[in-house]
Amino acid sequence: MYKDIKSKKRVRSKFLKNLVGYLDRDSHSREYTAPVEVDFARFIIENLLYLDYGITEEVLMVIHSIDSILASTGVSLRQSIERRDTSEPIALLAQRSIVFSLIIGLKQYLKTMYNLTETKCRAFDPRKTMNAKDNKPAVRFRSLGIVEWPDIPYLEKPFQSPGDMEEQLEAVCPNSPIRF
């Protein structure tokens, strides 16, 4: 599907932005909405990792979209964990923390693979016409084998107890007094 839209820049950028947006489904309303399922988030993230980007601007668009999510929903999630907010069940917080750990991992992998600095990523503005540097073909500077997520304790195994959930939250917010 991506190959079909690869030749249309505007459609391609919108596609990538919307794809990343699926990872932030639970932040647009204060009403209860089901969070993004961990397996679905992992599927999207791993596809974004292995995607054959056409130009550097596409990679920067994905990172920019991730930064937007981290600046809003990511901050509220972290605050909920640090304040031990009991308005949201611990299982839901733990599940959301796994998704956000994956999002952060995606950003780091993309920056490493495409040799992008944090400064370059922050300077990107999708509303401005990009300069010739960002319209260059996207070249991977490092190859990517099978991606493993060793820093996310409960990505592949289910929670067995509230202690497991607290361990997951501790992995996201280390040095935080997490006891629900």
The CA radius of gyration of the chain, in Å to the nearest whole number, is 17
The predicted pLDDT at position 10 comes to: 66
Give the dihedral sign, CA 115/68/24/130: negative
Q: Where are the domains of the chain?
A: 2-172
User: CA neighbours within 13 Å on the CB side: how many for 114?
Assistant: 31
Query: Which of the pair, 38 or 142, is modelled with greater confidence?
Result: 38
Asked if 87 contacts 111 with a C-beta cutoff of 8 angstroms, the reply is: no
The predicted pLDDT at position 28 comes to: 47
Q: ∠98-116-145 over CA atoms, to 5°? A: 55
pLDDT above 90 for 127 = no
pLDDT above 70 for 20 = yes
